[in-house]
Structure 1
Amino acid sequence: MPTWTALTTLPEKIKAEALGAALEELMPEPTGVGVFEMEDGSGLWEVGAYFTEGPDEIALMLLAAAHGAKPFAISALPETDWVAHVRRELHPVNAGRFFVYGAHDADKVPAGRIGLLIEAAMAFGTGHHGTTQGCLEAMDKLLNAGNSFKNVADIGCGTAVLAIAAAKVLEGDVIASDIDPVAVEVALANAAANGVAGRVACVEAAGFDHVDLAARAPYDLVFANILKGPLIDLAPNMAAHSAANGHVILSGLLIDQAPDVTAAYVAAGFVLKDHREIGDWATLTLCRKDA
């Protein structure tokens, strides 16, 4: 089935969300609408829609003008089985003691390594991105230094690769959360595929905004592999839900965004312990000061 995309940008979150809401009322109706902060440090927000029939270009032009956005860039995408394509293109990832692989590479898991089976799916976080790899390596470094964690949260979990990794090497239970219900379903399926279904709970939530997340606090290890803006907004809540001397591992950041995120967490009572870079991406490990 052919697919069309319509993309534009706006400088303010509120305006971008308003345009996104207006797109949902468009005819023909889009099959999906997304509003995302761009990761290039520009401060712009991308608004996009997907259509299974050609969109009304005049209506899109009027919507963009009415909301002060640039004209929509409209493209027709070729018919592609994207999941199959991604499976073919993804290669196993080494991240400390962890080895992230798809089922097509099950015979390549090295002896003595902790395998994380994560298939390509309609959710973020296959484990092959530099941010996820950075988080796995950061946890590996903490464990190598003799740290032990019994209460772990994975905020914005995507496919839950980080939560699954924690469940495979730590004694305590792990809770994962995501704002996307599809991601929660994928996370639960991945936990089962990796033999930790009973150890990883998954809930739909923004940040720590769920009764189960609040009930399990304080956490001695929290992952948050999301974006700069949400990470900064989350800093006070992260401090409130972290144990004294608890660690947080943060990513989803471009290298030049790391100083702003670090500053927000230092202001919230954390100390930077590690900063690693993979490609264009940074991963931060911080420890909450002993109250």
Structure 2
Amino acid sequence: MSEIRLYVTTTEVLAGQILDLLSDVFGEEDFAIATTEIDEKKDIWEASVYMMREDEDEVRVRVEEALAHSFPDAKVEREVIPEIDWVAKSLEGLKPVRAGRFLVHGSHDRDKVRSGDIAIEIDAGQAFGTGHHGTTAGCLETIDRVVRSRKVRNALDLGTGSGVLAIAVRKLKNIPVLATDIDPIATRVAAENVRRNGIATGISTETAPGFHSTAFSSHGPFDLIIANILARPLIKMAPQLVTHLAPGGSVILSGILASQRWKVLAAYNGAHLRHVRTIWRNGWVTIHLDRP
């Protein structure tokens, strides 16, 4: 059955506000919500919600009712999404990406690796994380900085996707890394990418739907926690996440629109973490915080 995208075309700031609104409307329901930059120079963005065709009528009513109160001029448009592996298709032919000392590349670009590069090979697949998105690149830069300057003995990659961030930590330092995701497909893809990158031991990949999973208590506490997810779940999980962070440990958060930065910072400052640095990339931010 075809997937439907309902979307509003607007500015970056308003797209972020609409994203927050739709996140509140749909909560934990199984509808993907996202923002996409269409034209950087003209500041054109789209805020979208995705659903199966059978859910379209109900979702449209809820979207239009929510927008009517805060964004009365917003026009909801519709697109039918063909049944194509869009992740794999969109990654075909992507160029290698440099972030810090890392070079993230596909198997067809192995010849682009230079002396001194920390190379991570990630091909097109069904899980997020190739280095091309601003959130992944921002995390890689911050990982490079944190692992070089801090004493990190074990790490957690929460919402691992392709496994690229867990692989990055392991390639920088010979420490154990727990890579978890709520999606078993992502967990499988991450494990495949770990093997592809020649890492025989040191990274544990596990499907974990929440912090109640024993994976966290058995591997933690962690000196470094990386969570490249989205602002809403990051805010919600702040109190639980911090309980798994060792004293003096660091947290790297991303998947956050620039307009959502202060909300996320407020949640983690409230959990007694100290803001160290923020990196901005293409409308997204990566936040580094420390636990005293």
Match of 2:202, as an amino acid? R
Alpha-carbon shift at residue 209 of structure 1 (Å): 3.1
SS in 2 for 1:250: strand
- Secondary structure of 2:62's counterpart equals coil
Q: Which residue of 1 aligns with 2:44?
A: none
Give the counterpart letter for 1:173 in structure 2: P
By how many angstroms is 1:206 displaced? Answer: 3.0
Structure 2 counterparts to residues 13-162 of structure 1, below 5 A: 16=26, 34-39=30-35, 46-49=49-52, 60-61=56-57, 63-64=58-59, 68-70=62-64, 75-77=79-81, 82=86, 85-144=89-148, 146-162=149-165
For residues 80-100 of structure 1, give each alpha carbon's deviation from its aligned partner in whole angstroms, at most 9, with x where no partner exists. Answer: 664664343411111111110
> Structure 2 residue aligned with 1:279, among 277, 282, 287?
282
**Alignment counterpart, residue 176 of structure 2, candidates 165, 173, 177:** 173
Cα separation, partners in 2 of 1:83 and 1:277, compared to 1, 3 Å: closer
User: Residues 99 and 113 of structure 1 are in contact (CA less than 8 Å); yes or no, is this contact kept in structure 2?
Assistant: yes
Change (3 A) 1:125 1:271: same
The letter of the residue matching 1:245 is G
Offset of residue 102 of structure 1: 0.5
Asked whether the equivalents of residues 167 and 200 of structure 1 are also in contact (C-alpha less than 8 Å), the reply is yes
Deviations 1:131-169 (A, max 9, x none): 01101101111234x313111000011001000111111
Give the structure 1 partner of residue 2 of structure 2: 4
Report how far residue 106 of structure 1 moved.
0.8
Amino acid at match of 1:7: R
Q: Distance in 2 between matches of 1:74 and 1:36?
A: 15
Instruction: Kindly report which structure 2 residues correspond to 1:176-191, keeping only aligned pairs within 5 A, or say none.
Output: 176-191=179-194
Unaligned stretches of 5+ residues in structure 1: 21-33, 50-54
Checking the alignment, whether the CA contact within 8 Å between 1:6 and 1:48 is kept in structure 2 is yes
| Partner Cα separation in structure 1 for residue 85 and residue 210 of structure 2 | 32
Q: Is 1:155–1:207's contact at 8 Å kept on the other side of the alignment?
A: no
1:79: Cα distance to partner?
7.3
Q: How far apart, in 1, do the equivalents of 2:34 and 2:79 lie?
A: 19
Contact 2:257/2:284 (8 A) holds in 1: yes
Q: Distance in 2 between matches of 1:135 and 1:266?
A: 20
User: Would you say the 8 A contact 1:156–1:207 is kept in 2?
Assistant: no
Q: How many residues end up aligned between the 2 structures?
A: 261
Instruction: Note if contact 1:131-1:278 (Cα within 8 Å) is conserved in structure 2.
Output: yes
Tell me if structure 1 keeps the 8 A contact 2:89–2:124.
Answer: no
Alignment partner of 1:206 is 2:209: yes
Could you tell me which runs of 5 or more consecutive residues in structure 2 were left unpaired when the two chains were aligned. 8-17, 37-46, 66-75
1:235 to 222, 229, 238: 238
Identify if the C-alpha distance between structure 1 residues 238 and 77 changes in structure 2 by more than 3 Å, giving closer, same or farther.
closer
Higher gyration radius (CA): 1
State TM-score, norm by structure 2.
0.79
Match of 1:224 in 2: 227
Distance 1:86 1:46, change over 3 A: closer
2:196 partner amino acid:
A
Return the letter of the residue paired with 1:136.
L
Identify the residue that residue 10 of structure 2 maps to in structure 1. Answer: none
Report the alpha carbon displacement of residue 207 of structure 1 after superposing the two structures with TM.
Answer: 4.1
| Pair 1:48–1:170, CA change in 2 (3 A) | same
Matched residue type, 1:90: L
Contact residue 272 and residue 285 of structure 1 kept, 8 A: yes
